[in-house]
């Protein structure tokens, strides 16, 4: 065993998949989660400690007991609409919570953290594909909290030598190919599970928000990256920090965008069923396209997505949703 890794938010969607990848890579994942959105059934590869990142005393106990080599930090609220209606919740948990976690790391002399960042820090793109040096101008409180967390990490690196890997990823999608874990949110806002649920007959339809964008079929384009590929990138980033002792910031994406209609067609092809669709107006703030230039991750981490095409990604998600019906 290579050692313990503290995984905040490890009972969530991306965190739990990363715990499986950690175990496969020879680490012991220690999940620390307040269980607001996490699932106990998703914690299969190491212990679960129920606690909040704002609880400094609890964090101190965990660091003392497990002596983790590093932290993988997924613990953040991530509903864009809710961040607009209740920004206090987001700044308290995401920003103040990260500060609390970093303070605990200082006290424990834990020097490496891999941070779950997002393309939402860029805001509306001025050019595509998005590169890491694109201006960061978030358009909602969720994006601002993630950008503030990135800045906090930079300052802690400079002042205290805590190294970070900020992974700005695009649209996480799919499920564990072995169907041991998958995506389950309440409420569900992600396109692929919404399309699958509509195709399964579990909801009346899936709504397309805007059909008049300047894209090949008029619907928004997004970069869908398989959750297992994201998990592997976290392991590679962790080992980069351990080997290089220097911080890094990279995009994680396939570099290929898929329209909403292409996603729906992929679900229909995988399932052999017709998806009920309702077309509606654009949502305020939705950019026509968001997709990554991820060559920096390829070069520095040796990372490359293994689940590159949308049908493969959708297929793993469909299998998971069918299994849990």
Distance CA 64, CA 95 (A): 24
Residue 109 DSSP code: T
Q: Is 142 a catalytic residue?
A: yes
> Per-residue DSSP letters for 44-105?
-SS-EEE--TT-HHHHHHHHHHH--SEEEE------HHHHHH-HHHHIIIIIIHHHHHHHHH
Asked if 95 and 148 count as a contact pair (C-beta separation under 8 A), the reply is yes
- Strand duo 206-209 + 277-280: pairing: parallel
First-to-final CA distance of the chain: 36
Residue 11 DSSP code: T
Distance CA 198, CA 209 (A): 15
Alpha carbon of 80 to those of 101, 143, 174: distances in Å? 23, 8, 20
Closest CA to 236 of 69, 71, 75, 114: 114
Asked if 64 and 81 count as a contact pair (C-beta separation under 8 A), the reply is no
Annotated catalytic residue within 13, 142, 291, 307 = 142
Active-site residue list: 142
């Amino acid at each position: 065993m290579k050692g313990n890794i503290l995984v905040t938010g490890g009972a969530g969607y991306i965190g739990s998949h990363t715990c499986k990848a950690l175990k496969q890579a020879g680490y012991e994942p220690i999940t620390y989660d307040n269980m607001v959105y996490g699932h106990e059934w998703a914690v299969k590869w190491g212990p679960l400690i129920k606690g909040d990142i704002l609880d400094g005393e609890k964090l101190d106990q965990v660091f003392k007991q497990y002596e983790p080599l590093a932290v993988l930090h997924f613990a953040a609220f991530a509903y864009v609409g809710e961040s607009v209606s209740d920004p206090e919740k987001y700044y308290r948990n995401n920003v103040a919570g990260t500060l609390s976690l970093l303070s605990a790391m200082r006290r424990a002399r834990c020097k490496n953290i891999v941070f779950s960042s997002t393309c939402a820090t860029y805001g509306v793109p001025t050019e595509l594909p998005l590169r890491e040096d694109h201006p960061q101008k978030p358009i909602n409180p969720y994006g601002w909290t993630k950008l503030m967390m990135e800045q906090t990490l930079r300052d802690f690196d400079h002042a205290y030598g805590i190294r970070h890997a900020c992974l700005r990823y695009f649209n996480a999608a799919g499920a564990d190919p072995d169907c041991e874990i998958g995506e389950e949110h309440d409420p569900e806002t992600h396109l692929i599970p919404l399309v699958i649920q509509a195709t399964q007959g579990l909801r009346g339809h899936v709504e397309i928000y805007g059909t008049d964008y300047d894209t090949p079929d008029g619907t928004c384009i997004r970069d869908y990256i398989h959750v297992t590929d994201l998990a592997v990138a976290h392991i590679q980033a962790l080992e980069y920090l351990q080997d290089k002792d220097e911080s890094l910031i990279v995009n994680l994406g396939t570099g290929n965008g898929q329209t909403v209609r292409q996603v729906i067609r992929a679900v229909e092809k995988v399932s052999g069923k017709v998806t009920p669709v309702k077309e509606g107006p654009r949502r305020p703030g939705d950019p026509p396209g968001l997709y990554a230039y991820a060559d920096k991750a390829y070069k520095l981490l040796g990372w490359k997505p293994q689940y590159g095409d949308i049908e493969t990604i959708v297929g793993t998600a469909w299998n998971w949703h069918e299994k849990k019906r």
